[in-house]
Amino acid sequence: MTSLGFAQNRLDRQSAERDAADLDALARDPAARAVLIAGEIPILAASPATSLLPLSALARAGALQERAYLGALDGAPVLAALADAAAAEAYRGDPAFQVLDLRSIAVQGVVPADELGVLAEAKALLHWHARHRFCANCGAPTLAACSGFRRDCAACGAQHFPRTDPVVIMLATRGDKCLLGRQPRFVPNVYSCLAGFVEPGETIEAAVRRETFEEAGVPVGAVRYVLSQPWPFPMSIMIGCVAEALADALTIDRDELEDARWFTRDEVRLMLERKHPDGLTCPPPIAIAHHLLRDWAFA
Ligand SMILES: [Zn+2]
Please give the pLDDT value at position 19.
85
- Measured CA to CA in angstroms, residue 236 lies from 128, 134, 171, 197 at distances of 11, 21, 19, 9
Q: Record the pTM.
A: 0.94
E strand map for 33-134? 33-38, 41-46, 49-50, 53-54, 66-73, 76-83, 97-99
Instruction: Tell me the CA–centroid distance for residue 160 and ligand 1, in Å.
Output: 9
Q: Quick one: DSSP state of residue 198?
A: P
SS3 19: helix
Evaluate whether 172 touches 296 at the Cβ level (below 8 Å): no
Tell me: cis bond preceding 48? Omega within 30 of 0 counts: yes
Please give the pLDDT value at position 9.
94
Q: Which residues contact 166 (CB under 8 A, 6 or more apart)?
A: 197, 198, 204, 207, 236, 237, 239
Instruction: Tell me the CA–centroid distance for residue 152 and ligand 1, in Å.
Output: 8
Please give the pLDDT value at position 20.
86
List, in sequence order, the alpha helices (H) in the chain: 23-28, 102-108, 113-130, 204-216, 265-272, 288-297
Please give the pLDDT value at position 1.
54
Low-confidence ranges of the chain (pLDDT < 50): none
Q: In whole angstroms, what is the distance from residue 290 CA to residue 189 CA?
A: 15
- Using CB atoms within 10 A of its CB, is residue 68 exposed (0-12), middle (13-18) or buried (19+)? buried
Please give the pLDDT value at position 59.
95
What's the length of the chain?
A: 299
Q: Give, for 239, the enclosing helix (H) or strand (E).
A: strand 236-245
Amino acid (1-letter code) at residue 16? A
Instruction: Tell me the CA–centroid distance for residue 153 and ligand 1, in Å.
Output: 5
Instruction: Tell me the CA–centroid distance for residue 260 and ligand 1, in Å.
Output: 45
Instruction: Tell me the CA–centroid distance for residue 132 and ligand 1, in Å.
Output: 11
Q: Comparing C-alpha atoms, which of 178, 132, 212 is closest to residue 294?
A: 178
Instruction: Tell me the CA–centroid distance for residue 130 and ligand 1, in Å.
Output: 17
Number of H helices, E strands in the chain: 6, 16
Instruction: Tell me the CA–centroid distance for residue 136 and ligand 1, in Å.
Output: 7
Instruction: Tell me the CA–centroid distance for residue 125 and ligand 1, in Å.
Output: 20
Instruction: Tell me the CA–centroid distance for residue 80 and ligand 1, in Å.
Output: 25
Instruction: Tell me the CA–centroid distance for residue 140 and ligand 1, in Å.
Output: 5
